[in-house]
Structure 1
């Protein structure tokens, strides 16, 4: 089942995702938003429209943002959501922008009231800027030193409501982790990652249940997350937890002419 959201609701979700997953630099052009984070993550290094009707002078504006991206050393990338006007999509087609990736945005209304029952595992809630979170992520997400430095810089831009959730085994080994942020009564969950040897053992489900209860206590009335469309196991998990698809998006990229 898919959630049915109008453009106003979609825009609200996108606005919250901007707050919860900030870039390092942002340029606003009407209802177009260009974001930059030294090339780390597509969402934080792309252009998108937040208003399906904002298509005036699309070709000229697109050219400006293409040049800005190249000046910053990143490949021009347009994030195409249902808020991108058809005129923009047609222009991307004419100019030869290629399609990359397919991501689903899932929503869950009313985080459940379940509480994590302490057992063999232990969940710790930390600030994303803490040494404990940094050390855990350094060994979990597998980024090279330069990219990990960008990741740490992006953490400093998160709102104060951001929390890192770490689930440990009884022997102190990290099992899985996730980030959660609440903004405008909407919570966003990012980067749910399970250590490979602990996958398919219920750790992700257990951590998500705890996070839902925590976010509800923080005032969240809705939870949003995103997952790559090809990740069927994750989509199955989220649907079993009550998530529905709100919309999906792709990226369009423009490589430099030879």
Structure 2
């Protein structure tokens, strides 16, 4: 049984940890749009109340116009908070589902996090963004948008970067400390150093910093298809809280 209060809280901190440039409400449907970045999390409808199911077709049509203005496809992020009637409507209209993802959480008071604080956050945002783009093999043209998103994060952030003298950046992690919770964002390890303990070392360093800042729990989001990452997180003590996926109209 999914704990809806926990879902609501993690959804709220997730929105703060990865802020969209435009935020609109239609009832309890949160519409997030970001013209400068194509991230699904930044460009989706996020229903927040399972009972808010009035005028579904009309509201989706209205939202579609807003998405078109931002040159984005109409997308609903389906979570345990999505009204069953909306899910039934999308099913009936043949909407496509993709990017099935898990939200995981762990208690920072339990378990070991390695020894010492051998890696501290860096202050150079540009260097962090360059490393994230290089490791993720993303388009360098996304640098301004990614920089703007991270700059807009209001809670305290820790930018973690692992580097190798010969091959350059090897791993990055963005930790967002929000009251007693810490979100692990933008976690990425270079293919050339995977399965060598780099990911676990980065995760431990990120969690140690979060715990020292006062966080009691850590959370993260990971696609269900990323089996290697899920195995790493579960080994580190993370457990599943809920799942979500994105849905778009049939073309």
Same fold (TM over 0.5): yes
What is residue 18 of structure 2 aligned with on the other side? 21
**Closer/same/farther in 2, CA of residues 225 and 78 from structure 1, 3 Å limit:** same
Distance 2:133 2:186 in 1: 13
What is residue 82 of structure 2 aligned with on the other side? 84
Structure 2 residue runs of 5 or longer lacking an equivalent are none
Distance 2:149 2:60 in 1: 26
What is residue 65 of structure 2 aligned with on the other side? 67
Q: 1:221 aligns with which of 208, 216, 231?
A: 216
Distance 1:61 1:125 in 2: 43
What is residue 123 of structure 1 aligned with on the other side? 119
Any conservation in 2 of the 1:123–1:168 contact (CA below 8 Å)? no
Any conservation in 2 of the 1:124–1:167 contact (CA below 8 Å)? no
Distance 1:33 1:143 in 2: 28
Any conservation in 1 of the 2:102–2:240 contact (CA below 8 Å)? yes
The Cα shift of 1:91 comes to 1.2
What is residue 46 of structure 1 aligned with on the other side? 44
What is residue 7 of structure 2 aligned with on the other side? 10
Distance 1:200 1:63 in 2: 46
Deviates more, 1:29-38 or 1:18-27: 29-38
Is residue 189 from structure 1 mapped to residue 187 from structure 2 by the alignment?
Answer: no
SS at match of 1:40: coil
**Closer/same/farther in 2, CA of residues 94 and 10 from structure 1, 3 Å limit:** same
Is residue 36 from structure 1 mapped to residue 30 from structure 2 by the alignment?
Answer: no
> CA offsets, 1:23-47, max 9 Å, x none?
1111122211011122521111100
What is residue 209 of structure 1 aligned with on the other side? 204
Q: 2:193 aligns with which of 194, 198, 201?
A: 198
Distance 1:231 1:135 in 2: 23
Distance 1:160 1:227 in 2: 21
Structure 1 residue runs of 5 or longer lacking an equivalent are none
> CA offsets, 1:117-153, max 9 Å, x none?
47xxx634124x6232133224222222333322122
> CA offsets, 1:65-121, max 9 Å, x none?
112111221100000001101001011122332111211111112255635447xxx
Is residue 158 from structure 1 mapped to residue 153 from structure 2 by the alignment?
Answer: yes
What is residue 101 of structure 2 aligned with on the other side? 103
Any conservation in 2 of the 1:109–1:222 contact (CA below 8 Å)? yes
Any conservation in 1 of the 2:155–2:177 contact (CA below 8 Å)? no
Q: TM-score, normalised by structure 1?
A: 0.89
Q: CA RMSD in A?
A: 2.0
Any conservation in 2 of the 1:31–1:49 contact (CA below 8 Å)? yes
